[in-house]
Chain A
Amino acid sequence: MPARRLPLALLLASHLLTPPASAQNSEQNRYYVQQMIELAAANDDSGVTAMQRVLEQSPKPTATDPAGARAALQRGLAALEQNELTAALSAFQQASRADASNVEASNYLGLVYRKLDRLTEAESALQLTLVLEPARAVAWFQLAQVYGLQKDPHRALGALANTYRFAQNPMRAEEILRNIAENETVDTLRDAALAALRLYRLPAEAVIVPPLPANPDIKPLNARPGSRSVVLPKRPAP
């Protein structure tokens, strides 16, 4: 075994052999998803693959009502089509409860949570999606968006790196990353996309951030009602 693999193996061993008393399988699996993010951000191909395989081989939850889940999923998709997010959320929650192994349901649940700006729940749902299907590029992409909104550049980078890694069409993914790196307004996500391109040594143009546009709603501090005037100290003569 290469020496650099040893720390990873020991980490894996220590985690598996001495789990915390309260640890459940789902928590362990979320830990592996986080590891996939960390290792991807460090461009550790083999480490990501190892964690992916561990997740793929872990036991999956059993469905209590697969038919009910499918029906709820269809309702959720119809509601999402109409941009009725609350109804969609309710339907996807129901689908996920009826069939915890339904990867579509948990993925759409994460999407709707993100659209509703409920980022912690979005992260949780998307992590569950990736536990079920660790090579699902679209879920990695949505998770990256969540981390971008949470202003977590490192995890956003790891999730975007996995988006590219697992993309069925890498050239399309590359162009999506370039598009984000050059046009995204969320700084964290834009910077993470640029870092992901550089991680894979893909061409990327340095982003030139334009000056912030004037915003008429923001007035100088001393112009607000009730505010005190700010008197700048005089500069000493040169």
Chain B
Amino acid sequence: MKATLALLASGIMLACIAPASAASQYETLDYYVQQMIAHAAANDATGVGTFQEQLEQLRRPEAGDSAKARPYQQQGLEHLGRNNLKQALAAFRQAFIADPIDPEIAGHLGMTYLRLRRFKEAERLAVYTLSLAPTQSATWSVLGETYGQTGDAPRAAGAFVNAYRFAKNPPQIVERLRQLAAADPETLRAGARQALDSIRPPADSPAAASSSLPTPTEKPTAPPGPTPPTNAAAPAGASSAGPAPAAGPAALSAVLGSLKRGVENFSHPPAKATSETGAPRAAGADSPGQRIYRRASPLTCLIVTFRNGRKDSLGSGLLVSPDGLVITNHHVIDKADNLAVRCGEQESAASVRGRSRKPDLALLATALKSAESFALNESYDPNLIGRDIFVIGNPYGLEGTFSTGVISGLREIDGVRYIQISAPVSPGNSGGPVILGDGTVIGIAAMGLKAGQNLNFAIASTEVIASRLFDPERMKSQPLAGPQF
């Protein structure tokens, strides 16, 4: 009977733990590929190199049967040459199933999907192929065309820049980009043109002589990759003790060191606030946005998660108490073995003090000290709609990105109250603050709709206040200030 009860207990316990899913493996690959795109679009060779290394360090899938795959691959190439796309798809598919770690086969399968205008499949295969061979120029080109065909010119441009960066025959890529710059649809043309502009500065530009161009096939001189500790300091979710995880000083120091390197590798904080939606203001003008940014920026946190000894993902958080309590989303820290947090100039390891799947929230304990902390706004009523909001976070690792918008609506989804906002929110913003003009936090950025534009959602602060995570002795809340006109 004891054994039975033990099984029962483990079953019940595990029923509360989300496992790593097969889908999340793809998301990891996609994250690194997207980072390479973002850094390529910013002409940041170091950043591209860093994430290229991250991809190369991932564990490779099991090898397949290359002898079995070869005839199928040959058939696929023949069909592709004759433009028999469905037959080519069938052949490359069989080849891929036989040997899924051959990047040539996976790349051809992705290309065939692209030519069949099955863009979602093309994207997935291209991302997977790049995880096997991050310098495969043809696949970067396929990915760029896929994004161009699906309305995403900026990503198309970044992917095309990488196609050029890793090309063995750069003039061929340039020629291809010229063709695409005259092709349909408009986003494909725009992506190709942006890439051409990026890789070929004007001939009379002084930069042309000194060449800040990414050199094709040149391996970027990336800093050494972060090396987080392999031993988990404390399993996330198991610990609720103190501000520091239950690890020795060496492990703690390693986490902090890793955080520092990781953050440096991911991005460089902007020298000054940049607005994604607002136009630059005249020097000396002190806009509400600038005031909010100055005050809120040091209280907004970058959260780096580590899993199986490796840096896993990035998210955002907000400092809600003078003694270092940080709120973020549960999904940010869900699968982490270790956590590190940076708020302003301060860094600390973190442990999970409390978590809740619904609403999607987590409370982290850190060793940070701050005279100031965010106050949570107690309001959730239609008067909020139309108010200006400000979002700070770390989308795609771009630390301290500031954006603005308005409250577009109030939504209750699956029993949880959300604030719908129009400010841009991207992966990495999760867990960050959505701030009203009075400096209070009205929501925690949580999710967005892929379809449509700027349809994003923040968990209402009232959900935090109503949850068991809220500690009124240590955290502040306040009602809505007067109307802002």
Task: Summarize B's interface: helix, strand, loop or mixed.
Answer: helix
Q: Which residue of B lies closest to A172 (CB)?
A: B100
Interface segment, one of A50-58, A185-193, A217-225: A50-58
Does A86 sit at the interface, judged by CB under 8 A?
Answer: no
Binding site for A on B (CB under 8 A): 3-8, 10-12, 14-19, 21-23, 25-26, 61-62, 64, 90, 93, 96-97, 100-101, 106, 109, 118, 120-121, 124-125, 128, 357-358
* Listed A/B pairs (11) with beta-carbon separation below 8 Å: A5-B16, A9-B12, A17-B8, A45-B19, A51-B11, A54-B10, A169-B101, A172-B97, A179-B93, A179-B97, A200-B23
Given the known interface contacts A45-B21, A165-B21, A169-B61, the answer about A13 and B8 at a Cβ–Cβ threshold of 8 Å is yes
Contact in complex: A2, B16 (CB < 8 Å):
yes
- Are B62 and A49 touching (Cβ within 8 A)? no
CA distance A49 to B358 in the complex (A): 20
- Docked-complex contact A46 and B22, CB < 8 angstroms: no
Distance A13 CA – B124 CA, assembled complex (angstroms): 41
Q: What chain A residues lie within 8 Å of B109 (beta carbons)?
A: 175
User: Do the beta carbons of B22 and A170 come within 8 Å of each other?
Assistant: yes
A209 to B: closest C-beta gap in Å: 16
How distant is B108 from chain A, measured CB to nearest CB, in Å?
13
Q: Which 6 pairs between the two chains have the least Cβ-Cβ distance?
A: A203-B120, A170-B22, A172-B100, A169-B61, A50-B15, A49-B19
With A16-B7, A49-B14, A170-B22 known, 13 other A-B pairs at CB within 8 A are A1-B16, A2-B16, A12-B8, A13-B12, A46-B14, A46-B18, A46-B19, A53-B10, A165-B22, A178-B121, A179-B93, A203-B124, A205-B118
A1 touches B96 (CB 8 A): no
Q: Assess whether A49 is in contact with B17, with CB atoms less than 8 Å apart.
A: yes
Residues of A near B5 (CB, < 8 A) are 16
Check A176 for interface membership: any CB of B closer than 8 A: yes
CB B376 to nearest CB in A, in angstroms, measures: 23
* A165 CA to B61 CA, complexed, in Å: 15
Interfacial residues of chain A within 4-33, with CB under 8 A of chain B in the complex = 5, 8-9, 12-13, 16-17
Question: How many Å from the CB of B57 to the closest CB on chain A?
Answer: 18
Min Cβ gap B95→A in Å is: 10
> Which DSSP category, helix, strand, loop or mixed, fits chain A's interface?
helix
Q: Is A171 an interface residue, CB under 8 A from the partner?
A: yes
Q: Provided the pairs A16-B4, A203-B118, A205-B118 are in contact, do residues A171 and B11 lie with their beta carbons within 8 angstroms?
A: no
A51 to B23, CA, bound (A): 20
* CB-CB contacts below 8 Å: A158-175 with B: 164-175
Distance (whole angstroms) from the CB of A139 to the closest CB of chain B: 16
Which residue of chain A lies nearest to B131 when distances are taken between CB atoms in the complex? A171
Contact present for A50 and B8 (CB under 8 Å): no
The interface residues of chain A lying within 8 Å CB-to-CB of B62 are 168-169
A47 at the interface (CB under 8 A from B): yes
| A12 to B5 Cα, complex, angstroms | 10
CB distance from B51 to the nearest CB of A (A): 19
Distance A171 CA – B103 CA, assembled complex (angstroms): 13
Closest to B116 in A: A205
Nearest CB in chain A to that of B3: its residue: A59
**A8 and B15 form a contact (CB under 8 A):** yes
Residues of A contacting B12 in the complex (Cβ-Cβ under 8 angstroms) = 1, 5, 9, 12-13, 50
Q: Does A176 lie within 8 Å of B97, measured CB to CB? A: yes
